[in-house]
């Protein structure tokens, strides 16, 4: 039976993370474990996770390192190394899950590929309403959501749209699933990438260069993004340079990645 690990990336927004945790508790099919991937949040996040750990129906782990800027690639690799699942579902702590989010990713899992989902954006008013009321049930016809097509849950249409893609467009770590063995093969996230941007796309490049297909998961694994201000783009140019090199040189592995965290 397939064992799954759900990784939830977060940084200093416990109010959003609590809403996400509640949506995970509402899943039709739970993962085998949940790992909160914390890029240096304060004690508020630690205390929130501790509050939920005692009664959570599956193991709930808090993987944390000190705050030293945007170091998401490092803490993600640490969490991937600790994950016990064969299949890793990855999301962000500002994205509320549809009740079939985990089940859809599990149903979509296929050897030799990774599944790329999409997200629905909530406007500021809808986001604030969801946070105030702990509302994680957001039908596709709700007011205040953008790109409404992504909010339609239709398994039969998902099967029709299930085709391999060679496009890097829409590659996002907020809604994606990998086989752990594939991540080990390409050495996980590239820790040379620091600051916001391109870490997800560069990983996808190495996976695809290694013969792992990208498959777009549409009309399933729905998540709703809580509105917030954009992160700093200060490192984007240098990160994009690493991505361009990975594409040009057809990288299949990075130098510093999961190897720094896996036990020998």
Examine the pLDDT at 111 and tell me if it is beyond 90. yes
Residues 6+ away with beta carbon under 8 Å from 236: 195, 196, 197, 198
Find the mean pLDDT for residues 216-239.
87
Predicted pLDDT of residue 155: 85
Find the mean pLDDT for residues 130-155.
85
- Give the pLDDT band of residue 113 (cuts 50, 70, 90): very high
Residues 6+ away with beta carbon under 8 Å from 18: 48, 134
- Residue 252 is part of a domain; what is its CATH number? 3.90.550.10
Predicted pLDDT of residue 176: 98
Domain count, the chain: 1
- Top-confidence residue, 142 or 187: 187
Q: Which of 199, 183, 214 is nearest to 85 (CA)?
A: 183
pLDDT, mean over the chain: 93
Q: What pLDDT digit, counting tens, does each position of 16-31 carry?
A: 999 999 999 999 999 9
Find the mean pLDDT for residues 176-202.
96
Predicted pLDDT of residue 85: 98
Predicted pLDDT of residue 50: 98
Q: What pLDDT digit, counting tens, does each position of 48-90 carry?
A: 999 999 999 999 999 999 999 999 999 999 999 999 999 999 9
Task: Of 144-158, 175-189, 215-229, give the lowest mean pLDDT range.
Answer: 144-158
Examine the pLDDT at 157 and tell me if it is beyond 90. no
| % of the chain surpassing 70 pLDDT | 98
Q: Residue 53 belongs to what domain range?
A: 4-260
Residues listed for the chain = 264
Three-state secondary structure call for residue 39: coil
Examine the pLDDT at 264 and tell me if it is beyond 70. no
Examine the pLDDT at 250 and tell me if it is beyond 90. yes
Q: Are 257 and 188 in contact (CB under 8 A)?
A: yes
Task: Of 5-14, 61-70, 170-179, 229-238, give the lowest mean pLDDT range.
Answer: 229-238
Examine the pLDDT at 212 and tell me if it is beyond 70. yes
Examine the pLDDT at 105 and tell me if it is beyond 80. yes
Computed on alpha carbons and rounded to an integer, the radius of gyration of the chain in Å comes to: 17
Q: Which of 91, 242, 78, 112 is nearest to 173 (CA)?
A: 91
Task: Of 52-61, 100-109, 143-152, 201-210, give the lowest mean pLDDT range.
Answer: 143-152
């Amino acid at each position: 039976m397939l064992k799954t690990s759900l990784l939830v990336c977060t940084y200093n927004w416990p109010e959003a993370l609590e809403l996400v945790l509640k949506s995970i508790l509402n899943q039709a099919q739970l993962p085998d474990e949940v790992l909160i991937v914390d890029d240096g949040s304060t004690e508020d996040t630690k205390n929130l996770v501790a509050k939920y750990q005692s009664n959570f129906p599956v193991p709930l782990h808090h993987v944390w390192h000190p705050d030293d800027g945007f170091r998401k690639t490092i803490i993600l690799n640490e969490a991937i190394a600790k994950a016990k699942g064969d299949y890793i579902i990855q999301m962000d702590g500002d994205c509320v899950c549809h009740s079939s989010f985990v089940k859809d990713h599990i149903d979509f899992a296929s050897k030799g590929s990774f599944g790329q989902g999409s997200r629905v954006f909530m406007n500021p008013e809808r986001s604030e309403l969801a946070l105030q009321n702990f509302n994680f049930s957001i039908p596709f016809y709700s007011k205040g959501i953008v790109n409404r097509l992504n909010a339609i849950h239709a398994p039969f249409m998902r099967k029709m749209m299930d085709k391999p893609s060679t496009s890097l467009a829409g590659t996002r770590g907020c809604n994606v699933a990998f086989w752990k063995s594939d991540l080990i093969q390409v050495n996980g996230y590239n820790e040379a990438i620091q600051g916001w941007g391109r870490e997800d796309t560069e990983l996808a490049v190495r996976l695809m260069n290694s013969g792992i297909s990208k498959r777009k998961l549409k009309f399933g694994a729905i998540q709703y993004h809580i509105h917030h201000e954009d992160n700093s783009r200060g490192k984007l140019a240098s990160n994009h340079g690493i991505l361009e090199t990975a594409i040009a040189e057809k990288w299949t592995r990075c130098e510093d990645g999961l190897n720094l965290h896996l036990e020998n």
